[in-house]
Structure 1
Amino acid sequence: MIREDRFLISRKPYAVDLSSLRLREDTETGWFDGRMTAVWFRRKQRVTVACIGTLWDHQKPAPADALEFLARHDDGRYGGNCLGRWDGTGYWGAEVPDVQEQHLAILRPMLANFPAIPPGYDGWWTFQGGAR
């Protein structure tokens, strides 16, 4: 992934919580399953939605930190794993009320302040080439 200075929804950018990287080693293969919390905007049927979920990748050897994980994460065909989505009127995602509240505490102000990066997140990261 590369970090871009400006937001272009067409590039499908993500903002990430750099402190959230979690690595788990598969001791049989030596590969590391890495996951980090991310938020992003998408458009569905002309409606802008705010999403929260994870970016994941399998890497070997283990990345030193979140920035190395992102730099080596070059396969964006699956995108982010969406766990919650807010469109301004309805929520889709977790069924556990506490998790819904956590998601909406981020997603509501995120959508209201479109396209600003939420506090605590770093962005915009994309799998596409540099801005033209």
Structure 2
Amino acid sequence: MNVLNILLIEDDMIEVMKLNRTISTLKLGHKIIEANNGVEALEILKRKDDLPDIILLDLNMPKINGIEFLEILKNDAVLKFIPTIILTTSSNQKDLLACYNLGIAGYILKPLKYEDYMSKIEKLLAYWSINELKKV
């Protein structure tokens, strides 16, 4: 299995800590790059020197929301190839459809129970770590 470079775009520090704790507990060697909002994430991605293998994106964020971020990402000739997975509490069908229309790689609802969260993250990262990813 490949070690992944993961860009986590999340404004809730508890959620950031939860993902880091999950990766640590599962003893996965993946590298997490953190951005607190879409603007910060775009600054990281603009450098184009060390691009992530996948992006985990929350929808409800300040400055620009997840859907606005996706629109910018998918209009970039290089960045559009980075698989982007929505990690959110929103079960809104309008959000789900909008995200899939923009070309996301997955849409995962954050479960309330930590054990369920850990299980979902483990499966998600296992899947992407065996994929052949385009090196942009």
TM-score normalised by structure 2 residue count:
0.26
| Larger Rg computed on CA atoms | 1
Greater percentage in strand? 1
Greater percentage in helix? 2
Greater RCO structure (CA 8 Å; 6+ sep): 1
TM-score normalised by structure 1 residue count:
0.27
